[in-house]
Amino acid sequence: MPDALSSNVIDVIELTRALVRCESVTPREAGALDLLEVTLAPLGFKCERMDFTQAGTDDVANLYARVGTGGRHFCFAGHSDVVPVGDLSSWTIGPFAAELSGGYLFGRGAADMKGAIAAFTEAAARFLAKRGRDFDGSISLLITGDEEGPAVNGTVKMLQRLAERGEKIDACVVGEPTSSRRFGDMIKIGRRGSMTVDMVVRGIQGHVAYPERLDNAIHRLSALIEALVREPIDKGSTHFQPTSLQFTTVDVGNSATNIAPGVVKARFNTRFNDLWTSQKLLAHLKERIEQANAKLGGNGTVEYAKVEVSGESFYTQPGPLVELVAGAIESVTGGKPELSTTGGTSDARFIARYCPVLEFGLVGESMHKVDEKTGVADLKSLAQVYEAVLDRFFAA
Ligand SMILES: [Zn+2]
């Protein structure tokens, strides 16, 4: 017979509203983790703050909460931080008021992803009410306050700490808003990698009237850009779209009308699929650049000022975890989710090094925008899906 836990009823709507009211723009904790702690502790979760610091980055508060000490370990990972509101005057509803209107809950973080944290909390409460705390397994929430920022003092370090003390996770679901148009229509089973490269291209500065005495760095760069974007990098793989490369800035800073510049800086970002590691791809791109540069003749040079890899691509083979979550979604929505690897990076890239991981959550259409919102019905459905996931994962 379930114990007194059955009185610990969590309401996903009210918990989401309370979380949205915490103005936890990265890296501020703003009471969001405190609120989760006082919500989870009475359910039996042992709550542990894992706050990390590192020189040159903001201090970040994180929360690890676990119920159960043995058995199979299911982890829900998420972030309590939110992106800034942007242009406040464009919001039609206060971004931290958490108002309900027309079947939606409005506010920064409603979709990305306080709603999912609340939904999982309700699901865990219901599961524990049914099964009691001694269900021969462990459930944890790994909540970081540093996902939307540099992601240095969050999930990465929490996972390291767990590994150091021998805590193993058997499966993980990240609550990112992966649904595309309709709730439940998409799961993310992988993500592309992301790499940003800063280049400095040098030619010879000179008077525009004497082209024979100069080597215009802009012209040189344009040929290099051509070499990078003319031919596709690949055709995509079974589960991934083709690798893409986008130049994001070209900087010369030349105010003179009669000087051809000798130096130009440029930056590109590439989102790459599982056919590459960042290292392999960088070598390939450098080869394209060097070949094009050599073809131009002269003594122009290319220097790679900075290469930043924010994550390698990762992919979870369709298998038990994917089937389990897809089945749980279908049991609630009646539809099969698409298995996708599109979109930006998420903390799942770090978790993939430790255990099978996938991402499933609310409809992401409004995330990071003004008037971010989530359907009230979707929040309730998400709590049901997460509960079904726990039921299936810990099926006797
Ligand atoms: Zn997010």
Query: In whole angstroms, what is the distance from residue 383 CA to residue 108 CA?
Result: 20
In contact, 95 and 85? CB cutoff 8 Å: yes
Q: pLDDT of 210-265, one tens digit each?
A: 999 999 999 999 999 999 999 999 999 998 999 999 999 999 999 999 999 999 99
Q: Are 311 and 193 in contact (CB under 8 A)?
A: yes
Q: What does pLDDT average to over the chain?
A: 95
- Single out the residue of 393, 386, 376 nearest to residue 105, CA to CA: 376
- H/E stretch holding 139: strand 137-144
Q: What is the pLDDT of residues 123-134, one digit of tens each?
A: 999 999 999 999
DSSP code for 332: H
First-to-last alpha carbon distance for the chain, in angstroms, is 16
- Structure token pair of residue 393: 């994962």
The predicted model scores a pTM of 0.88
Interstrand relation of 193-202 and 301-311 (parallel, antiparallel or unpaired): antiparallel
Residue 302: the pLDDT is 97
What is the share, in percent, of the chain residues with pLDDT greater than 70?
98
Predicted local distance difference test score (pLDDT) of residue 8:
76
Q: How far is residue 205's CA from residue 215's CA, in Å, rounded to a whole number?
A: 7
386 vs 122: CA distance, rounded Å: 9
For residue 199, whether the previous peptide bond is cis, meaning omega lies within 30 degrees of 0, is no
Respond yes or no: is residue 81 known to be catalytic: yes
CA torsion through residues 60, 66, 69, 70, sign: negative
Helix (H) or strand (E) holding 34: helix 32-40
What letters, b where the CB count within 10 A reaches 16 and e where it falls short, cover 255-283? eeeeebbbbbbbbbebbbbbbbebeebbe
- Reply yes or no on whether 51 is catalytic: no
Measure 89 CA to ligand 1 centroid, in angstroms: 23
Q: Cβ distance 80 to 29 under 8 Å?
A: yes
CA of 212 from ligand 1 middle (Å) equals: 53
Beta strands 373-375; 104-106: pairing state:
antiparallel
CA of 342 to the centre of ligand 1 (A): 14
User: What is d(CA 369, CA 279) in angstroms, rounded to the nearest whole number?
Assistant: 34
Percent of the chain scoring above 90 in pLDDT: 92
Report whether pLDDT(3) > 80. Answer: no
Ligand 1: centre distance to CA 345 (Å): 9
The sign of the CA dihedral 243, 309, 363, 325 is positive
* pLDDT at res. 343: 87
Q: What is the pLDDT of residue 333?
A: 98
Are 286 and 206 in contact by the 8 Å Cβ rule? The answer is no
Instruction: Tell me the per-residue pLDDT of 6-36, one tens digit each, with 9 for 90 and over.
Output: 457 899 999 999 999 999 999 999 999 999 9
Q: Which two tokens stand for residue 347?
A: 């903390």
pLDDT at position 396 is: 64
Question: Does the pLDDT at position 156 exceed 80?
Answer: yes
| H or E element in which residue 154 lies | none
Residue 336 has pLDDT above 70, yes or no: yes
Q: Which of 29, 112, 122, 147 is catalytic?
A: 147
Strands (E), 226-378: 244-251, 259-260, 263-272, 301-311, 314-315, 338-340, 357-359, 373-375
In the reported structure, the alpha carbon of residue 317 is separated from the centroid of ligand 1 by a whole-number distance in angstroms of: 22
CA distance 44 to 46: 6
Q: Pick the catalytic residue: 81, 215, 312, 378?
A: 81
pLDDT at 7: 52
Encoded tokens for 119: 């939904």
Report the pLDDT value the prediction gives residue 148, as an integer from 0 to 100: 84
How far apart are the CA of 79 and the centre of ligand 1, in A? Answer: 7
